[in-house]
Amino acid sequence: MSTTLIRESRQIRTLATLKRQAIVDILDAAGPCSVLEVADLLECRPDRLYYHFRRLVAAGLLKGRRRRLGDGRPSVIYALQKPRPQLLYDPHDRANVAAVNAVVAGMMREASRTFRRAFGPGTVATGERREIWAGRRVGWLTAAERESLNRLVHKLMALLTARPHPTRSAKLYAFVFSFSPLSAPRK
């Protein structure tokens, strides 16, 4: 499935909040859900999410559809406005650069928190079935090798988005990475 670029800086800025990134990630991975279902998957109280859902809807990133529950109570099912959202990186637009940097900073903070919570007794930390891994490698890459790395990252992303709905045997994982030159571009 192809991705949809989020082009507007205001929409990108909306995703600078960790809860909103998590909501979008859950809806991308699990498909349309209610606030209660997202809260359950994020292991938090639903009342901590309603504000963020409203902001995502106002920014045009989510849409809600009303439905009636089995007992007649109203509910709203939320879905992504467009499939597989991906941020547009425009290094020539200062507002875009600031917004993307804010989102990436949030991703890295959340990756660190998630790692700390997951790393403990009972965690599989080695071998083919390891559940946790963080690392850093520095190396010289040619343009062709950079292209190869990007293809591999696309394969990883496709693997993580292959299952639209959770199953009993599947666990929800986050894959966060940062790839950039170590030296600033020459101006």
Q: Which residues of 47-76 are buried (b: 16+ CB within 10 A; e: fewer)?
A: eebeebbebbeebebbebeeeeeeeeeeee
Tell me the CATH architecture of domain 4-118+141-160. Answer: Orthogonal Bundle (1.10)
Indicate if the pLDDT at residue 1 is higher than 60: no
Task: Render pLDDT for 82-114 as a digit per residue (tens, 0 to 9).
Answer: 988 999 999 999 999 999 999 999 999 989 998
Task: Render pLDDT for 123-133 as a digit per residue (tens, 0 to 9).
Answer: 999 999 999 99
Q: Where are the domains of the chain?
A: 4-118+141-160
Kindly give, in sequence order, each residue whose CB lies less than 8 Å from that of residue 48, ignoring residues fewer than 6 positions away.
Answer: 19, 39
> What single letter denotes the amino acid at residue 100?
V
> What single letter denotes the amino acid at residue 145?
E
User: Nearest to residue 88, comparing CAs of 174, 13, 173?
Assistant: 13
112 versus 74: the higher-pLDDT residue is 112
β partners of residue 79: 63
Q: What is the pTM of this model?
A: 0.84
Mean pLDDT of the chain: 90
pLDDT at 163: 66
pLDDT at 75: 86
pLDDT at 72: 78
Q: Which of 11-15, 36-40, 161-165 has the lowest mean pLDDT?
A: 161-165
pLDDT at 129: 93
At residue 6, φ and ψ (nearest 5 deg) are -90, 110
